[in-house]
Structure 1
Amino acid sequence: MRTTVNIQDEALELCKDKAQQKGISLGEAITEAILATYRDTPEKTRSRRFTLPVSGKGGLRPGVDLDSNAGLEDVMEGRE
């Protein structure tokens, strides 16, 4: 469908750049951006998979006391 819209210059440049990077038309890039923003899909609500670093030995890092909130905060902030 053809239509005319007024969009900000910055938005247009971002879409042009994305279209060039992906090798698609400007119209396709704008369509993808709109659908990604406004379509409710399982992909949008699905959590990303990630892995937590492990030491290989199991258990807590030496010096970590799970009973001390202040101590845990110190470890997480790199103060200990």
Structure 2
Amino acid sequence: MLANLLLEIGGSMSTLGAGIGAGLAVIGAGVGISGVGGRAMEAMARQPEIFGKLQTAMIIAAALVEGAALFAIVVCLLIAGNA
């Protein structure tokens, strides 16, 4: 009985950890994308003629940040599913 209780607590703790990890990944992606966007706006305000090149680089950087966050969320969901 005690062993079953400990296994149940361990499973719920890993699910909680996976949820916290997914939340932190989303927060990190938000901070990363806001940093990319903010710096791009500053650069465009200083040099408006560079808009086209900067927009392309900004979209690529935001996609890389978003991809890393999505990968982290999938890992967290896999951990939660195995618990």
Of structures 1 and 2, the larger Rg is shown by 1
Which has a greater percent of helix?
2
Same fold (TM > 0.5): no
**TM-score normalised according to structure 1 size:** 0.23
**TM-score normalised according to structure 2 size:** 0.23
